[in-house]
Structure 1
């Protein structure tokens, strides 16, 4: 209890050019942490780096396709040389396809798995190569409620997130066996208002949307930073919808199957037709050298929440427990009177 936590000095974030990765970089930059920003899109990377520098931190943007291990390995070596020893590695990069499984081509499914699942494996391998010899450091895997509950139209994403959980649990056991002081944790997110709904490959007839309730990326970023600060916890569940989804699937998975079969198609699409000419980032970054800077937030800002009571209570469990205890004592005293 009395030991002071030491915050990271050098962090690596994959998928840092937009969405949750970008929002997390902004929060970490406020701590004056040197941040290596890894992503494919040059436009988004440069904009993210400017935000980090404006906050007073050092930024190192590196164009990397996380599906390619050699590129991730080279990026890790460059970070160690230019910024210093890596204390924190956050795996956040992903790509996917919005489509029924039978309309998703084999090469598309493979590519999505290589980016989203193997990208985490590659990032974790490189992080451990630097952290294990020093016997210290933290790796945060950004997960999802869909890591425990598959939904229609997102078979590629659900498969990758499920695989990440299995990989992370196996590795955690190995680190415990080795008595390693490298920490490994996960933060499972709800529906988040990110640019993924504007740039993922979609074969849906109407525009894709997150299933409400929707949260702004900063809610996810706060949870990821909390996980980095307290990596002793195995997992962080962010948002009441995540809690209900994971627990509901444990209690009544068959009921959820039937519910999602009935509602999962309409709830993930707006009333607007899908634009077949919109950019898709599965093979090439949508924010390439001449691309648009998508930022952290997507197109559903008017419907997204900036705060989650559940996420706050999860991060401040001692305060929440003290509050509940005080309320119980107060109620007992009131009854006696």
Structure 2
């Protein structure tokens, strides 16, 4: 029996890598994104390379009715949805003083309400069958905000709060539905070329940077294993834990480093594309322009995948050290 996944933001970046990962694992795929041509090309590629069924549906996740319609279309063409992955996002590189209320509203609708709309569409169907998995994609920036991305950071904080509330409700109702959240580090995607940018210089992810296949593998893992949450990359772990310990110190550090770390020295062209309100056409894929600076693996993700073996080895190591110290003390 075929397994079916729906992925929002499937046209490029992490979403494009996620549909590739699921198709590689034999899943039939529903691709949701605004740019119809791009997701149709992606769907054709998945059908050709992996022999899976793939349906491309042009969808703006900020529109709840459109998401609901897309979910129905996927089930009509492929069958009951097993996994729903909320990846779609939008960001703006600018200080709050240079942003408009309309930009805040649009970015929040895509990045936060887009996940709410996707979750609601998936949940209404999964409740009836009492089975299914929903993956919400978060970020280290949903725990530790940075300057110049207040819209994105605020939305990712909201996603985290929404997910935790819903998780308790699922437990209360004793549903056989798995809800998980995957928090990402900086990833090499096209967003740094097409995000609305008011800074006059090209944007960049803050190193270390990971290739989009790393979070894609983490998302597939989270969808197929009973993990409440997965943190991808050691930088994500550090950001989350450091903010719990010394948030004031990090505020001051980011007041300076947070600006230059997110901007290159290259001037931004006057005609630079911006995808906040309209999709940017073109043959974009999973990767951005930072392949030479990006990592293809994550040590932290490895430990999460193999945490039983990892903690067993860690315990053995600690016991060995304790015994060694005991012997030295006797001598």
Scaled by the length of structure 1, the TM-score of the pair is: 0.93
- SS of the equivalent of 1:184 reads strand
How many Å apart are 1:210 and its aligned residue? 0.4
Question: Take 1:70 and 1:327, find their aligned partners in 2: how far apart are those partners?
Answer: 55
Q: Deviations over 1:243-301 (max 9, x none)?
A: 000001111110110010021110100110112212111111112xxxx1110000111
Q: Deviations over 1:150-183 (max 9, x none)?
A: 1000000001000101111111111111111111
Question: Take 1:82 and 1:267, find their aligned partners in 2: how far apart are those partners?
Answer: 45
Aligned to 1:309: 299
Aligned to 2:153: 158
Q: Which of 22, 26, 48 matches 1:28? A: 22
Indicate the larger mover: 187-196 or 46-55: 46-55
Structure 1 107/267 Cα, relative in aligned 2: closer, same or farther at 3 Å? same
Unaligned runs of 5+ residues in structure 2 are none
- SS of the equivalent of 2:52 reads coil
Question: Take 1:319 and 1:37, find their aligned partners in 2: how far apart are those partners?
Answer: 35
Question: Take 1:48 and 1:315, find their aligned partners in 2: how far apart are those partners?
Answer: 28
Question: Take 1:330 and 1:48, find their aligned partners in 2: how far apart are those partners?
Answer: 52
Question: Take 1:163 and 1:185, find their aligned partners in 2: how far apart are those partners?
Answer: 15
Q: Which of 228, 244, 247 matches 1:253? A: 247
Q: Which of 129, 134, 137 matches 1:142? A: 137
Q: Which of 67, 70, 82 matches 1:72? A: 67
1:112 is the counterpart of 2:107: yes
Aligned to 1:3: none
How many Å apart are 1:308 and its aligned residue? 1.1
Question: Take 2:323 and 2:103, find their aligned partners in 1: how far apart are those partners?
Answer: 63
Q: What RMSD over aligned residues (CA atoms) do the two structures have, in Å? A: 1.6
1:300 is the counterpart of 2:295: no
- SS of the equivalent of 2:25 reads coil
- SS of the equivalent of 1:152 reads coil
Aligned to 1:61: 56
**How many corresponding residue pairs?**
326
Question: Take 1:94 and 1:306, find their aligned partners in 2: how far apart are those partners?
Answer: 22
Aligned to 2:310: 320
Aligned to 1:180: 175
Scaled by the length of structure 2, the TM-score of the pair is: 0.95
1:84 is the counterpart of 2:79: yes
Aligned to 1:169: 164
Q: Deviations over 1:41-74 (max 9, x none)?
A: 1232022212321122111010000011111011
- SS of the equivalent of 1:117 reads helix
Q: Which runs of 4+ in 1 moved over 6 A?
A: 332-335
Q: Does structure 2 retain, via aligned residues, the 8 Å contact 1:12–1:36?
A: yes
How many Å apart are 1:316 and its aligned residue? 1.3
Aligned to 1:264: 258
Q: Deviations over 1:215-268 (max 9, x none)?
A: 0001111110111011x3221111110000000111111011001002111010
Indicate the larger mover: 253-262 or 270-279: 270-279
1:38 is the counterpart of 2:26: no
